[in-house]
Amino acid sequence: MRPFIRTIETLELDGGTLCLNFVNSVKNRFEKPVYEFIKTPDDWILWSHRTQICSELTKQRLSKYVSENKEKALKELKRIIEVREVLYGIFRNIALKKSPLTEDIRIFNSELSFSFGFLNIEIGDNLETIPIWNYKETDLLYSLLPIMKSAYELLTTDLKEHIKECPNCGWLYLDKSKNNSRIWCNMKTCGNTMKSKKYYEKSKILAKK
């Protein structure tokens, strides 16, 4: 059986919410240097499309924008990754029952103000509230707006108490199990990997006896 290989195309969305899936767009948080899946503006567009942030039409428009504005797109991607690491710092500290860094909260609030400045709502026929992003620019920051909304919603509800860190890869996820007993981000990948490691170590100990 071939081992599962994570790529931007196969990357699992195990965070349980959009903002944590964004935070998890690296291979393994415990490996240094951290392997980055969103290396290029095109990777960001692909990830945004996979997570249904942008439609096929928006994906095409963003790809055209990147091809015509390469330097600007790279600067925007740099900002996007910096925001991701701020979110990681905040949510990881919460998972470890620690207070987030003051600087991370400052940057978060700045990005939140930017994002929410474009947020409107509409009321549907069934009285459902529909968020509408009044963002006119065709650039890479568009996909960051709903991520910031997702992060705000997670931080302002009791769901944040269910954020956990996978002991194998360091990904963050929402434990939605009944008994709050979920250990891994994904049982098929990290769960089986850790079980195999334990079995191997146990076999080595028994072999020495």
- Residue 52 makes CB contacts below 8 A (sequence gap 6+) with none
The whole-angstrom separation of Cα 170 and Cα 164 is 9
Structural domain harbouring 31: 18-208
Which of the four pLDDT bands, split at 50, 70 and 90, describes residue 198? low
Rounded to two decimals, the pTM is 0.89
CB of 140 closer than 8 Å to CB of 73: yes
Total number of domains constituting the chain: 1
Domain contains 75: yes
- Residue 67 makes CB contacts below 8 A (sequence gap 6+) with none
Domain contains 135: yes
Domain contains 2: no
Cα 56 from chain centroid (whole Å): 21
pLDDT tens track for 30-62: 999 999 999 999 999 999 999 999 999 999 999
50: domain CATH number is 1.10.3300.10
